[in-house]
Amino acid sequence: MCGIIGYVGGKQAAPVLLKGLQRLEYRGYDSSGIAVVDSDNIDVIKTTGKVATLCEKANGGKKLNGNIGIGHTRWATHGAPSDVNSHPHLSADGRFCIVHNGIIENFAELKSDIIAHGLPFKSDTDSEVIAQLIQYLYDGDMISTLRKVMERVTGSYAVGILSADAPDTLYAIRKDNPLVVGLGQNENFIASDFAAALEHTHNFVQLNDGEIARLTSRAVTFFDNNGNTVEKTPYLVDWDISLAEKDGYPHFMLKEIYEQPKAIKSTLSPRIKGDNIILDKIDFSANNVNRINRVNIVGCGSAYHAGIVGKHFIEKYCRIGVDCILASEYIYSNPITDNRTLTIVISQSGETADSLAALRLAKKCGSHTIAIVNVIQSAIAREADNVLYTYAGPEIAVATTKGYTTQVAALYLVGLKIAKVKHIISDARYSELLGELALLPDKISEILKDTDKIKQYAEGYAEHKCVFFIGRNTDYAASLEGALKLKEISYIHAEAYAAGELKHGTISLIEKGTVTLALVTQSDLYSKMLSNIKAVQSRGGDVLAISSYNNKQIGEEADGLLTIPDCDDDVTPILTAVVLQIFAYYIAAKRGCDIDKPRNLAKSVTVE
């Protein structure tokens, strides 16, 4: 989704902005632009296409003088990707300039009102209305003007603002869209995420909904929606900027796949103390746990798939009914959620608009909420009653890998903790599973040590138009994620089916040469899966099975076999996920796809 960077300080702003935009490229975008205040003029350069094109157009930033500016990567919502629709947008008199993330829902009404007052519009965007509204409402005081603007607009926004009348000051406002303020030495930043400013500072402050930030090179002041100043405590983001570099890997996705042993260790080890699971500050006292009569897990995309794995695990060991619900469905479903419901909201970015709305709804219904989130201090992390950070480190590739597997790991911890407090799980099984979790990083490393066979199969299937994934129970949950990964980055049509459901329709799609990946890691379901494999083969389909080393029979029956290290059936989804990520990666690489930034997708979807 769109990205924002803003700078005020002693350096020439344009090169800083361009570098920041490069750091934001991973979020997904179709055009970009920068604006810099030079004396009392605002100069804008913008273009469709990659930030590299913008850099060329701006001669690496040399074309724009000035020490204060804003930059933007746009992911089109209102108005096609075009130079004119790209941000920044100027007001009609050229005195105000904005970059905007989000959607202004009442833009049409505001636009006709403003046009009626004689201010012409240039673009088809909803965002331009903010620049025009600032000019229209300007009363000589930017804070008071921005408060009036916020009263008039509805929707979601993070906005960076320049005013030619205040050539040393940068402003920002936000509602329901991420925006951080980075505090440097005689320089300050606004950014839609840390990555854009991390090479300049590790100290950040979150701008809250309804607040205004005013930044000069030496001071940052925050105002609430009544115009009163607000004190804020900065926090440290200890992510190393090198984590946001490719570090010799051809793609961030591959790098992040390889970071999984470390990422899983970071999720698990601070929370496993001997035989005890300590889940940060969450109060899992018997009283609290015994009150829970339902668990709802909510998320989007891969986070939702992680939730399905969690559902199986929690239901199995805690004997509580768990619903895993797509956030975008949950919010319009009149959900059964009350004060005995535990709601777990999963989100790598912590900023996904649907998941944030689901969290708010669950809280409104009286539910206790736990967020499983990667990005520190993100909106979902801040608004949930409790947060379990996955500590996976920055994830840059749009298709999540370590984000997903660490979410699953966190859900295992929650499930085991509840089961233990409820005394449902035997001590022996509990210890056994804790031991299995601790072994996961080494087992992932074992898969990563030799990926040739996965690559070989992947490249062999690269020209296929369609790939099916089948599995039962947790293997079905893992299939959903495997299929999503493949379609996201390779653009091959991929579908996951519960293996037993094949005969109710899907099997009509199987013909000679159709490829089906069969996930067979649940020992009590081997024979059932074998029948499903046979059913595919007897219609001419090819089956590539994924199973553990010790499952020899499947290897003999399927047309091909990829293995995961032997492990407990309950934790296989993390290992199969790694194999399927690598499989998707090499198919996409063979097809020459833009793996880290697949077409039309965004890393953090901050609009509904």
With contact defined as beta carbons under 8 Å apart, do 459 and 583 qualify?
A: no
By the rule CB under 6 A, 301 interacts with ligand G6P: yes
CB of 535 to ligand G6P, least distance (A): 31
CB-neighbour burial class of residue 450 (10 A; exposed 0-12, middle 13-18, buried 19+): exposed
> Stretches 101-109, 250-258, 343-351, 503-511: which one binds ligand G6P (CB under 6 A)?
343-351
In the complex, minimum distance from the CB of residue 66 to ligand G6P, in angstroms, rounded to a whole number: 35
Query: SS3 of 402, please?
Result: helix
Contact 542, 440 (CB under 8 A): no
Interatomic CA distance for residues 590 and 587, integer angstroms: 5
Task: State the nearest-atom distance from the C-beta of 605 to ligand G6P, in Å.
Answer: 5
* Of residues 6 and 28, the one with the C-beta less far from ligand G6P: 28
Q: Which is nearer to ligand G6P, 348 or 516 (CB)?
A: 348
302 near ligand G6P, judged by CB under 6 A: yes
Instruction: Give the nearer residue to ligand G6P in terms of CB position, either 543 or 580.
Output: 580
- Least CB distance to ligand G6P at residue 355 (A): 5
Minimum separation from the CB atom of position 192 to ligand G6P (A): 13
Give how far Cα 128 sits from Cα of 9, 33, 37, 104, 405, Å: 26, 14, 18, 10, 40
Which 3 state secondary structure label does DSSP give 247?
Answer: coil
Q: Does 399 bind ligand G6P (CB under 6 A)?
A: yes
Beta carbon of residue 349, minimum distance to ligand G6P (angstroms, whole number): 3
Report whether 288 contacts 261 (CB < 8 A).
no
449 is catalytic: no
Does 349 help bind ligand G6P (rule: CB under 6 A)? yes
267 forms part of the interface with ligand G6P (CB under 6 A): no
Under the criterion CB under 6 A, does residue 160 sit at the interface with ligand G6P? Answer: no
Phi, psi (5° rounding) for residue 421?
A: -65, -35
In this structure, the number of other CB atoms found within 10 A of the CB of residue 293 comes to: 11
Confirm or reject binding of residue 91 to ligand G6P (CB under 6 A): no
Measured CA to CA, the distance from residue 323 to residue 344 in angstroms comes to 10
Residue 371 backbone dihedrals phi, psi, to 5 degrees: -100, 135
303 binds ligand G6P (CB under 6 A): yes
CA dihedral 461, 466, 467, 471 (to 10 degrees): -170
Please list the helix, strand and coil fractions of the chain in percent, rounded to the nearest 5, in that order.
Answer: 40, 25, 35
CA distance 95 to 412: 54
Please report how close the Cβ of residue 307 comes to ligand G6P at its closest, in angstroms.
10
601 touching ligand G6P, by CB under 6 A: yes
CA dist., res. 205 & res. 232, Å (int): 7
Active-site residue identified among 2, 97, 300, 318 = 2
Give the one residue of 266, 400, 479, 576 binding ligand G6P; rule: CB under 6 A. Answer: 400
- Residue whose Cβ sits closest to ligand G6P: 301
x/- letters, 547..586, toward ligand G6P (CB under 6 A): ----------------------------------------
Q: Could you say whether residue 605 binds ligand G6P (CB under 6 A)?
A: yes
Piece in contact with ligand G6P (CB under 6 A), picked from 227-235, 247-255, 317-325, 600-608? 600-608
Return the bridge partners of 156, or none.
103
> Binder to ligand G6P among 260, 405, 604, 606 (CB under 6 A)?
604
88 cis-preceded (ω within 30 degrees of 0): yes
Which candidate in 175, 255, 597, 603 is catalytic? 603
The CA distance from 178 to 157, in Å, is 8
Binding footprint of ligand G6P, residue count (CB under 6 A) = 16
Least distance between ligand G6P and beta carbon 485 (Å): 9
Whether 175 is a known active-site residue: answer no
Q: How far apart are CA 23 and CA 10, in angstroms?
A: 21
Query: Of the candidates 91, 347, 377, 547, which one interacts with ligand G6P according to CB under 6 A?
Result: 347
225: which residues sit within 8 A by CB, 6+ positions away? Answer: 147, 150, 210, 211
Pick from 352, 522, 547, 581: which binds ligand G6P (CB under 6 A)?
352
Closer to ligand G6P by CB, 191 or 303: give it: 303
In the chain, what is the straight-line distance between the N-terminal and C-terminal CA atoms, in Å? 12
Nearer residue to ligand G6P within complex by CB, 91 or 352: 352
Residues within the interface to ligand G6P (CB under 6 A): 300-303, 347-349, 352, 355, 398-400, 601, 603-605
Active site amino acids:
2, 603
